[in-house]
């Protein structure tokens, strides 16, 4: 306002401001990419410099002339008059499906019937007799009447005994499986919906800024592939991040890529450390 007399119009002043911004710059790099630098003013009045590196690839595809001609056919029926390109009301893109054919798919698939699962559960479980340490149930031990259970004199049953066989406590007739054992055998339908938790494609991110939000992490990590789950540990009282998080991908190769790229990435004022999560027990 104290500039030149007669130039008090606010609109013009604004104009002058934007003129001071440097022009957009496009530089071609040696490796065939382009760097585009643009300047803009944010809502809060601060000047922002945006640098983008873009790689342009031309994909040439030879199509049958008949097919090429059909691509330019006019739309008709319910589509009449609609612009070219897929319409969002009729066409959408579904979530990525990893389809990898494998020989002997049946055996590798976990889609087995309930009874089979239980049988396998029992097969894997190590049965150890508390009396003679043989591989049978304590109740079926041939020395049941003659010997007392190992390492104890009292009759109180040790509660922490043979947790592997817990799925079949009570002589194998019971179908109860304690919650902490359910996950790995996959008994029943899993809670938590569509994604089976895949530890193989889960990253552990540490040294996360305490002001981080789950969405920030999701934004950063979804660059490398479809992120199925983001868990950011937070303090219950302060609601601030505790400094570590887990990010799961639908695909392990995406996870590996993200692990490589994001390890050492500066976020907030800290350097992220990214590694594959260790298998939880």
Residues contributing to the site for other proteins (CB under 8 A): 63-64, 66-67, 70-71, 73, 75-80, 84-87, 89-106, 109, 189
Give me the least distance between CB of 91 and other proteins, in Å please: 4
Give me the least distance between CB of 232 and other proteins, in Å please: 27
Among residues 171, 173, 119, 175, the alpha carbon closest in space to that of 141 is found at 171
Give me the least distance between CB of 243 and other proteins, in Å please: 35
Residues 181, 138 contacting (CB under 8 angstroms): no
Give me the least distance between CB of 52 and other proteins, in Å please: 25
Which H or E run includes 41? strand 33-41
Closer CB to other proteins, 32 or 101, in the complex: 101
Closer CB to other proteins, 9 or 189, in the complex: 189
What residues form DSSP beta bridges with 206? 244, 273
Closer CB to other proteins, 45 or 81, in the complex: 81
Question: How far, in Å, CA of 232 to CA of 220, rounded?
Answer: 13
Give me the least distance between CB of 78 and other proteins, in Å please: 4
Closer CB to other proteins, 33 or 87, in the complex: 87
Give DSSP secondary structure letters for 221-256: HGGGS-EEEEEEEE-TTT--EEEEEEEEESSHHHHH
Closer CB to other proteins, 63 or 271, in the complex: 63
| Residue 195 CB partners (closer than 8 Å, separation 6+) | 228, 229, 248, 250
Give me the least distance between CB of 66 and other proteins, in Å please: 6
Closer CB to other proteins, 226 or 261, in the complex: 226
Structure token pair of residue 193: 């919906």
Q: What region does 201 belong to: left with phi over 0, alpha with psi -120 to 50, or beta?
A: alpha
The DSSP symbol for 50 reads E
Give me the least distance between CB of 98 and other proteins, in Å please: 7
Closer CB to other proteins, 11 or 94, in the complex: 94
Question: How far, in Å, CA of 156 to CA of 160, rounded?
Answer: 12
Give DSSP secondary structure letters for 178-235: -HHHHHHHT-SPPSSTTPPP-GGGEEEEES--TT--HHHHHHHHGGGS-EEEEEEEE-
| Residue 19 CB partners (closer than 8 Å, separation 6+) | none
């Amino acid at each position: 306002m104290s500039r030149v007399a007669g130039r008090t119009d606010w609109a013009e002043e604004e104009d002058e401001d934007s003129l001071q911004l440097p022009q957009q710059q496009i530089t071609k790099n040696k490796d065939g990419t382009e760097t585009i630098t643009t300047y803009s003013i944010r809502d809060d009045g601060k000047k922002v410099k945006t640098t983008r590196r873009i790689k342009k690839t031309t994909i040439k595809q030879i199509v049958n002339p008949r097919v090429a001609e059909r691509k330019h056919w006019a739309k008709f029926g319910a589509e009449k008059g609609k612009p070219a390109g897929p319409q969002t009301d009729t066409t959408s893109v579904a979530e990525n499906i990893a389809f990898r054919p494998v020989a002997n798919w049946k055996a590798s698939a976990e889609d087995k019937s309930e009874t089979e699962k239980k049988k396998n559960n029992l097969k894997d479980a190590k049965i150890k007799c508390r009396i003679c340490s043989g591989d049978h149930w304590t109740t079926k031990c041939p020395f049941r009447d003659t010997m007392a259970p190992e390492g104890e004199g009292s009759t109180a049953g040790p509660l922490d005994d043979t947790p592997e066989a817990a799925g079949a406590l009570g002589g194998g007739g019971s179908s109860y499986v304690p919650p902490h054992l359910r996950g790995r055998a996959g008994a029943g339908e899993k809670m938590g919906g569509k994604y089976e938790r895949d530890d193989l494609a889960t990253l552990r991110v540490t040294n996360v800024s305490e002001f981080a939000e789950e969405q920030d992490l999701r934004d950063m990590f979804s660059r490398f592939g479809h992120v199925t789950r983001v868990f950011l540990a937070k303090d219950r009282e302060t609601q601030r991040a505790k400094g570590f998080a887990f990010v799961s991908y639908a695909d392990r190769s995406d996870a590996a890529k993200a692990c490589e790229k994001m390890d050492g990435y500066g976020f907030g004022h800290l350097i992220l450390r990214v590694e594959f999560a260790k298998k939880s027990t």
